[in-house]
């Protein structure tokens, strides 16, 4: 850690360090861009993965917190706090030229806080309408409905964007830009389209069937969860996590619980840890089955969809017996889980593990082995490993590009360090590899379940937690491996009973950032393939 | 076999007995028209249910169950509903072409249906170029789809129409070549004669190797011709929402829907006529007792059973295979299917010339 | 001709909850009366309409996944004839709003509703569509789709179970079965009522 301090100190003498769980560096905006370049490229630092970007409003000034990870140096993490100089017109230098993922992340921060990113190529709002008044996550946001009524007229100026370009003399000039030229043939895929898996909108510039450019318009299901969390107590915020990526409900909630537990220093009983791990893996199986089914359906093989759902129902039955719901289970709570396992749990899980290998063979027979399916997936949506890291594509999609990024291995949590499983890595970098990673991960999840199902220890399911949960002053970041990649929760507390700022770093947000990159020069049908197999869940992107 | 000529000649004689020839012909035309439309509608309704039930069984489901026993009335409910749905005509569309397109599609498929013989003497016109006529009429349907896509003034429908055009024009070649292969074996384009030729054994067995190759090519090309999966690109639901008929509502959409199913019957019917002996019963040379028993089953039953069987195969394709991509589809046709069909035609010509067939 | 209580196969009247509402609709219809022939045609058409409801799925979040389960093998909505999910609003009969509707989505949803061909119905599935659900207090969430659309059936739940969705769809069937196609209370009038209550909406279409 001191090496890093030395190296950073040499590059940037203004930096202030705070020790902690993760080393934190605070810098003013002036030096941020050169520092970022150095962090990315200098030997001994090599922070090549931008894990999270959290916009902040510290009342006296605005800033952004960047969480960096080094994939080459043992998954070492670093926090960089960048503080904008001016509260009235906050500006920060963009790092979208260094980490691809920063492009959309910075647009999100701009949308929420109005922080303008200098040299960012496309400073549009990301979630809210173009004509939205105000920046909702600012602490002085005026939420009166008169300012932003329900507008039933269409948005205008969809093609207009702007960039704030720094001139050689240091001044900032606003430059108007267009997303698409006047003679491009643009079609809308979405927001209501059968295969966008929700309400994403892709504006595609076409040349015949070939896609030249995809412009992503998001926010059709932006519910403002982060703002809502700021007015709720910690236990009350939990239920939102189930409704973000509803296919990773257990994992997301696990993550938030762990983050709060970390802040409070609560030790979770072993039984609860094992139950959480098993639920996470069951959720992963259910999610990958859904993903398989939907991918097959989007490619036109309708029957495979029904086979995937048949087994998914069996997983949902297990959830229903223990948690009381098929979806939105609300099962994890701070300190443990809300209810003990159903007496049938062991039997049901064993039955599931027993049938899965056979059923997977059936899927491969019905869909994977099909020559048309292989032709549709192989070589489509190439995402090389460097790009996967730059765009922070984690989860099965990243592992299909041979990017080893499994949080369960890198920062083991719950009881993942006690079970034996493999991180599935394939090096095809195309849709087929991503698809196969998912199918193989189902096997690995079954393996984890098999090891745990007879080893659930007796004991408490919940630790003692205070009635009124108040976090100490400070901030925490926690990651878990959700079904679609690394899910992170950032909590900043001012000591009150509600969070000062809560940010969810969702894996799907990064996945959608890579769509344009993956689909250039492909056909419309390939866009559907890439979407289906990247398998993003839109409410997780929009939050 | 019972010859339906007896019935039709008797009816003609009955009418001409008390009215002039022109009036008799007029009445006959009207009766035939009504029968064709009725059969068309009933067949289409049957096919819709057939597909829904079949796909349900492939997918471990039950399919329509609530109206009538085993849901047999489901299609009638759909029909009543679709008849009273609002017809939407949009601003900015080419209204004349927009309304014309479904009628072109349905006319083409009704005409094709009218050309199929259902039994001995049970047909409307016995052309000496029957096969050629069917091929020609089937190409008219594409026009309707192209017009529908173009006149809707919608980018999705336009892409759907363009795909449809490219696909149908390409696959028509293989379809034609596969049919010519059989014409080569039969030595005639007259459908009745083609069927009569199969009295001893079906062409699929008589022509063995080239006939089987032609049959497979025909099945693939026919699936593409009817815009069914894996070649359902023009209406690729997950890419183009509903393809060329995105903007159609009510009965105009119903026409496309009916025509789609009826085309399935027609291509299966043609396949059964050309390869499986049409209304001819299954005859195995040498087994006279068996052949006599088979003769008791009426011709239309044979014809329908064969057509339904081939439709079953095509429906099976649709629900199992993923959708093919446009470039793959075109290269498949032009690089593989058509050269093979051409070579197969030469092969068949050799077989016929040297008498290697049965 | 007297309009009878709508029947649903294998569900008795006592299994349904809000019978009073349907009774009221029946009474309203009977008050105006109808010719026997017309009444029979009405019955036939309503039978067709009620049993051939083609959904237009407007799934934005979790409820859409439950709707997929509804179509999958265990629940199989094909039994009711609902399986022909059309992706083009022109060909669908009802729009099933599943999930939260936010400000950016509101005009899109409204436009899709306008694109549906008459007769059209709206189902609000899930608590988000019914009232905004857990996100009601958010700065950009619509507190229920009934703010912008005339809703026929509300399905509470987060998300509603597939069984609950079937119940809601059956309620819609019952509602359709007491409509009149020839003259009388048709859907168009209801829409007019809606605009009478919300005159400001009329100019926006």
What are the tens digits of pLDDT across the range C28-81? 777 766 667 777 777 788 888 888 888 888 888 888 888 888 888 888 888 888
Instruction: Kindly list the residues from chain A whose CB atom is less than 8 angstroms away from the CB atom of residue C64.
Output: 198
Q: Does A193 touch chain B (CB under 8 A)?
A: yes
Dihedral, A304, A308, A311, A315 alpha carbons, nearest 10:
-170
From A298, A366, A523, residue closest to B238, measured CB to CB = A298
Q: Looking at domain A1-137, which of 3.30.9.10, 3.30.160.110, 3.40.50.970, 3.30.460.80 is its CATH number? A: 3.30.460.80
Complex-level ipTM beyond the 0.90 threshold: no
Radius of gyration of chain A (CA): 23
Q: Which of B62, B67, B81, B92 to mutate to test the interface with C (most CBs of C within 10 A)?
A: B81
Concatenated DSSP letters of B264-278: HHHHHHHHHHHTS-T
What is the full per-residue pLDDT of chain A (543 aa) written as tens digits? 667 777 777 777 777 888 777 888 888 888 888 888 888 887 777 888 888 888 888 888 888 888 888 888 788 888 888 888 777 888 888 888 888 888 888 888 888 888 888 888 888 888 888 888 888 888 888 877 778 788 877 777 678 888 888 888 878 888 888 888 888 888 888 787 776 677 888 888 888 888 888 888 888 888 888 888 888 888 888 888 888 888 888 888 888 888 888 888 888 888 888 888 888 899 999 999 988 988 888 888 888 888 888 888 988 989 888 888 888 888 888 888 888 888 888 888 989 889 989 989 988 888 888 888 888 888 888 888 888 888 888 888 888 888 888 888 888 888 888 888 888 888 888 889 989 999 999 989 898 888 888 888 888 888 888 888 888 888 888 888 888 888 889 888 888 888 888 898 888 888 888 888 888 888 888 888 888 888 888 888 888
Q: What are phi and psi of A176, to 5 degrees?
A: -80, 140
CA B125 to chain CA mean position, Å: 17
- Are the beta carbons of B34 and B247 closer than 8 angstroms? no
- The pLDDT, as a whole number, for residue C182 is 63
pTM: 0.88
Q: What is the pLDDT of residues B12-68, one digit of tens each?
A: 778 877 888 888 888 888 888 888 888 888 888 888 888 888 888 888 888 888 887
According to DSSP, residue A459 is labeled S
Per-residue b or e along B331-357, where b marks 16 or more CB atoms closer than 10 Å to that residue's CB: ebbeeebbebbeebbebbeebbeeeeb
CATH of domain A225-542: 1.10.645.10
Give the 3-state secondary structure of residue A193. coil
- Report the residue of C52, C174, C188 to disrupt the B interface, i.e. the one with the largest count of B CBs within 10 Å: C52
| Cis preceding linkage at B71, omega within 30 | no
Task: Inspect the interface and report whether the beta carbons of C73 and B247 lie closer than 8 Å.
Answer: no
Is B87's CB within 8 Å of C181's CB? no
Interface test with A, best of B238, B320, B331 (most A CBs within 10 A): B238
In a domain, B137, yes or no: yes
- Domain assignment present for residue B172? The answer is yes
B317 inside 8 A of chain A by CB: no
Q: Structure tokens of A69?
A: 């990870």
3-state per-residue secondary structure call for C19-40: HHHHHHHHHHHHHHCCCHHHHH
Residue A263 burial by Cβ neighbours in a 10 Å radius (0-12, 13-18, 19+): buried
Q: How far is A268 from chain C (nearest CA, A)?
A: 28
DSSP for B137-152 reads HHHHHHHHHHHHHHHT
What number of H helices and E strands is found in chain B?
Answer: 15, 0
**Tally of domains in chain B:** 1
Cβ density class B148-177: b for 16+ within 10 Å, e for less: bbbbbebebbbbbbbbbbbbbebbbbbbbb
Q: How many Å lie between the alpha carbon of C204 and the closest alpha carbon of chain B?
A: 17
- What is the C-alpha separation between B172 and B244, in angstroms, rounded? 19
Radius of gyration for the alpha carbons in chain C, expressed in angstroms and rounded: 17
B298 Cα to chain A: minimum distance (Å): 36
Please tell me which of the candidates C49, C76, C87 has its beta carbon nearest to residue B81: C49
Measure in Å the smallest separation between the Cα of C99 and chain A Cα atoms.
9
B49 found inside a domain:
no
Q: Is residue B264 part of a domain?
A: yes
What is the least distance, in Å, from the CA of B67 to any CA of chain A? 24
Q: What is the pLDDT of residue C186?
A: 43
CA distance C177 to C190: 16
Of C75, C67, C61, C66, nearest to C94 by C-alpha is C67
Intervals of CATH 1.10.645.10 along chain A: 225-542
Cβ contacts below 8 Å, chain B against chain C, sum to 98
Of A187, A303, A525, the CB nearest to B319: A303
For an interface test with B, give the residue of C71, C78, C112 to mutate (most B CBs within 10 A).
C78
**What pLDDT does residue B1 have?**
61
Q: What is the pLDDT of residues C135-194, one digit of tens each?
A: 888 888 888 888 888 888 888 888 888 888 888 888 888 888 877 766 544 444 555 666
pLDDT score of C203 more than 60:
no
Distance between CA B232 and CA A228 in Å, rounded?
45
User: What tokens does A419 get?
Assistant: 């079970």
As a whole number of angstroms, the distance between CA B127 and CA A139 comes to: 83
- Specify if B122 maps to a domain: yes
Q: Cβ separation of A194 and B238 shorter than 8 Å?
A: yes
Cβ of C161 within 8 Å of Cβ of A153? The answer is no
Residues in A touching C106 (Cβ below 8 Å): 150-152
The answer to whether the Cβ–Cβ distance between C79 and B242 falls below 8 Å is no
Residue B62 lies in a domain: no
> Would you call the peptide bond into A230 cis, given omega within 30 degrees of 0 as the criterion?
no
pLDDT of residue A57: 86
Chain B neighbours (≥3 Cβ pairs under 8 A) are A, C
Is the Cβ pair A152, C99 closer than 8 Å? no
Q: Nearest CA to CA, how far is C27 from chain A (Å)?
A: 36
C105 touches chain A (CB under 8 A): yes
Beta bridge partners of C55: C94
Local structure of A207: helix, strand or coil: strand
- Whether residue A195 and residue B239 make contact (CB cut-off 8 A), yes or no, is yes
pLDDT of residue C204: 47
Residues of A within 8 A of C103 (CB-CB) are 128-129, 132, 148, 150-151
Residue B101 has pLDDT above 80, yes or no: yes
Contact (Cβ atoms closer than 8 angstroms) between residue A56 and residue A92? no
Answer whether A152 sits within 8 Å of C110, measured CB to CB: yes
pLDDT of residue B185: 85
Name subunits touching A (3+ CB pairs < 8 A). B, C
Residue ranges of chain A assigned to CATH 3.30.460.80: 1-137
**Dihedral through CA A64, CA A70, CA A74, CA A75, nearest 10?**
40
Domains of chain C in sequence order: 17-198 (3.40.50.12280)
Question: Whose CA is closest to C178, among C81, C51, C47, C38?
Answer: C47
Note whether C55 contacts A: Cβ–Cβ < 8 A. no
Is residue B26 domain-resident?
Answer: no
Q: Please enumerate in sequence order all residues whose Cβ is within 8 A of that of A311, keeping only pairs 6 or more positions apart, or say none.
A: A289, A352, A355, A356, A359
pLDDT at C191 (0 to 100): 58
Confidence of residue B340 (pLDDT cuts 50, 70, 90): very high
Answer yes or no: is pLDDT of B181 > 80: yes
């Amino acid at each position: 850690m001191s090496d890093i301090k030395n190296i950073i100190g040499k590059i940037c003498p203004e930096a202030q360090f705070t020790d902690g769980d993760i080393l934190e560096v605070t810098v003013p905006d002036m030096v941020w861009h050169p520092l970022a370049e150095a962090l990315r490229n200098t030997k001994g630092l090599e922070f090549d993965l931008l894990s999270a970007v959290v916009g902040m409003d510290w009342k006296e000034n605005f800033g952004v917190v960047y969480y960096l990870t080094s994939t080459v140096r043992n998954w070492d993490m670093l926090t960089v706090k960048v503080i904008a100089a001016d509260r009235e017109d906050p500006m920060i230098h963009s790092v979208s030229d260094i980490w691809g993922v920063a492009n959309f992340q910075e647009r999100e921060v701009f949308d929420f806080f109005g922080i303008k990113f200098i040299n960012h190529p496309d400073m549009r709002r990301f979630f809210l309408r173009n004509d939205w008044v105000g920046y909702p996550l600012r602490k002085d946001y005026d939420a009166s409905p008169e300012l932003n009524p329900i507008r039933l007229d269409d948005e205008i100026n969809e093609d207009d964007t702007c960039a704030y370009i720094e001139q050689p003399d240091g001044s900032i000039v606003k430059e108007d830009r267009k997303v698409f030229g006047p003679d491009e043939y643009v079609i809308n895929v979405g927001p209501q389209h059968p295969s966008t898996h929700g309400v994403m909108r892709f504006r595609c510039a076409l040349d015949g069937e070939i896609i030249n450019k995809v412009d992503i318009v998001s926010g059709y299901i932006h519910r403002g969860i982060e703002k809502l969390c700021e007015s709720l107590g910690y236990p009350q915020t939990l239920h939102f996590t189930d409704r973000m990526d509803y296919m990773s409900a257990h994992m997301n909630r696990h993550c938030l619980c762990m983050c709060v537990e970390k802040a409070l220093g609560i030790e979770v009983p072993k039984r609860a840890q094992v139950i959480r791990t098993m639920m996470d893996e069951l959720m992963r199986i259910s999610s990958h089955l859904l993903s398989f089914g939907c991918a097959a359906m989007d490619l036109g093989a309708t029957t495979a969809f029904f086979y995937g759902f048949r087994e998914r129902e069996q997983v949902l039955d297990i959830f229903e017996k223990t948690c009381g719901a098929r979806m939105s289970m609300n099962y994890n709570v701070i300190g443990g889980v809300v209810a003990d396992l159903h007496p049938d749990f062991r039997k049901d899980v064993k039955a599931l593990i027993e049938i899965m290998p056979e059923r997977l063979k059936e899927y491969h027979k019905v869909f994977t082995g099909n020559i048309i399916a292989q032709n549709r997936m192989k070589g489509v949506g190439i995402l090389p490993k460097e790009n996967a890291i730059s765009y922070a594509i984690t989860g099965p999609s990243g592992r299909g590009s041979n990017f080893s990024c499994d949080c369960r291995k890198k920062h083991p949590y719950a009881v993942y360090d006690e079970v034996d499983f493999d991180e599935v890595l394939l090096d095809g970098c195309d849709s087929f590899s991503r698809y196969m990673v998912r199918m193989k991960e189902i096997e690995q999840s079954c393996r984890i379940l098999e090891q745990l199902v007879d080893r659930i220890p007796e004991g408490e399911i919940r630790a003692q937690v205070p009635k009124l949960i108040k976090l100490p002053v400070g901030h925490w970041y926690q990651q878990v491996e959700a079904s679609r990649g690394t899910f992170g929760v950032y909590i900043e507390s001012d000591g009150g009973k509600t969070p000062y700022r809560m940010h969810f770093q969702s894996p799907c947000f990064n996945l959608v950032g890579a769509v344009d990159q993956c689909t250039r020069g492909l056909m419309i049908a390939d866009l559907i393939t890439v979407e289906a197999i990247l398998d993003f869940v839109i409410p997780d992107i929009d939050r | 076999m019972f010859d339906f000529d007896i019935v039709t000649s008797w009816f003609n004689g009955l009418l001409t007995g008390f009215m002039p020839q022109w009036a008799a012909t007029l009445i006959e035309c009207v009766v035939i028209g009504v029968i064709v439309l009725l059969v068309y509608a009933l067949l289409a309704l049957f096919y819709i249910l057939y597909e829904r039930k079949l796909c349900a069984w492939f997918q471990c489901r039950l399919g329509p169950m609530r109206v009538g026993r085993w849901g047999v009335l489901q299609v009638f409910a759909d029909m009543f509903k679709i008849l009273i749905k609002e017809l939407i005509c949009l601003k900015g569309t080419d209204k004349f072409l927009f309304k014309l397109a479904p009628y072109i599609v349905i006319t083409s498929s009704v005409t094709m249906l009218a050309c199929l013989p259902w039994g001995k003497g049970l047909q409307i016109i016995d052309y000496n170029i029957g096969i050629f006529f069917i091929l020609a009429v089937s190409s008219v349907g594409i026009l309707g789809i192209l017009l529908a896509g173009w006149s809707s003034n919608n980018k999705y429908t336009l892409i759907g129409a363009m795909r449809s055009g490219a696909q149908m024009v390409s696959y028509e070649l293989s379809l034609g070549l596969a049919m010519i292969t059989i014409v080569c074996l039969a030595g005639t384009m007259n459908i009745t004669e083609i069927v009569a030729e199969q009295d001893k054994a079906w062409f699929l067995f008589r022509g063995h190797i080239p006939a089987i190759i032609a049959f497979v090519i025909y099945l693939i090309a026919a699936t593409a011709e009817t815009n069914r999966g894996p070649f359902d690109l023009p209406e690729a639901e997950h890419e183009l929402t509903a393809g060329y008929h995105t903007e159609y509502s009510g009965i105009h959409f119903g026409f496309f829907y009916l025509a789609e199913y009826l085309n399935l019957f027609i291509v299966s019917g043609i396949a059964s006529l050309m390869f499986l002996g049409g209304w001819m019963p299954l005859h195995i040379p040498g087994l006279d007792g068996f052949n006599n028993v088979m003769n008791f089953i009426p011709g239309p039953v044979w014809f329908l059973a064969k057509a339904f069987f081939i439709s079953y195969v095509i429906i099976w394709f649709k629900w199992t295979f993923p959708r093919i991509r446009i470039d793959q589809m075109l290269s498949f046709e032009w690089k593989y299917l058509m050269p093979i069909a051409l070579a197969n035609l030469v092969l068949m010509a050799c077989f016929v010339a040297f008498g290697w067939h049965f | 001709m007297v309009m009878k209580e709508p029947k649903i196969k294998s569900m008795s009247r006592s299994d349904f909850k809000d019978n009073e509402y349907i009774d009221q609709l029946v009474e309203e219809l009977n008050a105006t009366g109808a010719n026997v022939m017309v009444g029979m045609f009405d019955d036939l058409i309503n039978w067709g309409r009620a049993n051939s409801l083609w959904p237009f799925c407007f799934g934005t979040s979790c409820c859409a996944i439950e709707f997929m389960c509804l179509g999958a093998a265990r629940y199989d909505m094909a039994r009711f004839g609902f399986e022909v999910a059309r992706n083009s609003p022109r060909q669908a009969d009802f729009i099933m709003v599943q999930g939260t509707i936010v400000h950016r989505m509101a005009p899109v949803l409204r436009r899709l509703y306008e694109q549906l061909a008459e007769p059209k119905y709206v189902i609000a599935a899930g608590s988000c569509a019914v009232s905004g659900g857990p996100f009601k207090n958010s700065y950009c969430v619509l507190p229920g789709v009934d703010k912008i659309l005339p809703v026929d059936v509300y399905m509470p739940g987060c998300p509603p179970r597939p069984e609950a969705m079937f119940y809601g769809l059956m309620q819609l069937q019952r509602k359709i079965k007491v409509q009149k196609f020839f003259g009388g209370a048709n859907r168009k009038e209801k829409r007019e009522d809606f605009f009478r209550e919300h005159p400001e909406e009329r100019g926006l279409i």
